[in-house]
Amino acid sequence: MCKATLVRWTIIPLIAPRPWIACGGCGGLKPFEPSGRIRLNANGRRLDAWLIYKCLVCARTWNRPLFERRALKDIDPATLEALHFSAPDWVRAREFDIEDLRRKAQRIDECAEVEIRKEILSDTGHPTVTVIELEVALPTCLRLDRLLSAELGLSRTRLQTLQAEGGLRIEPARKDVLRRRVRSGTRVMLMRTS
């Protein structure tokens, strides 16, 4: 009979992506970090919104456009309130919108530093299988093999060997799944060997 312990790991990135933008203060491309603030400008019944970034070298600001000349009636009331108060969760979600950032910057530095919150969902006492469900709050560049290696105390080579021998299964199964970024919905099944 298979006894399984189910654990959820919630992965929370600590540092937002940093775009490299031409800085008017220091000259040349420099890394900018988000300030956590929003700038708004109203023109009649139209609104412009930007995320404010600061140069890591000289602290000069860059306004990353969220939208321009949008009619107030077309903006969801919850979004409008989040904009007015620079709601931290709303702002943080926009700071991690890597696809939008790629349209505005040629280079983006991503940091794999994360916080991991672990929660036991069910425990059978002496499990034969440990199932780890991953929940990724915001996109991160952290690879699955690096996460598992650090948290389980196994080398990445050992993880590959376990996977080849059937002692480690990952769903959804993909080619080179261990070398891909962590994603929500990934299930890691670690079989007990002794």
pLDDT digits (tens, 9 = 90+) for 13-56: 999 999 999 998 988 999 999 999 999 999 889 999 999 999 99
What is the percent of the chain where pLDDT is above 90?
Answer: 82
Alpha helices in 5-107 (DSSP H): 77-85, 88-95, 98-102
Distance (Å, whole) CA 173 – CA 139: 20
Sequence-distant (≥ 6) Cβ neighbours of residue 19 within 8 angstroms? 31, 32, 53, 64, 101, 104, 105, 107, 108
166-187 residue pLDDT tens: 999 999 988 899 999 999 999 9
For 159, the token pair is 């993880």
For residue 128, what pLDDT band results from cuts at 50, 70 and 90? Answer: confident
62-86 residue pLDDT tens: 999 999 999 989 999 999 999 999 9
pTM over 0.85: no
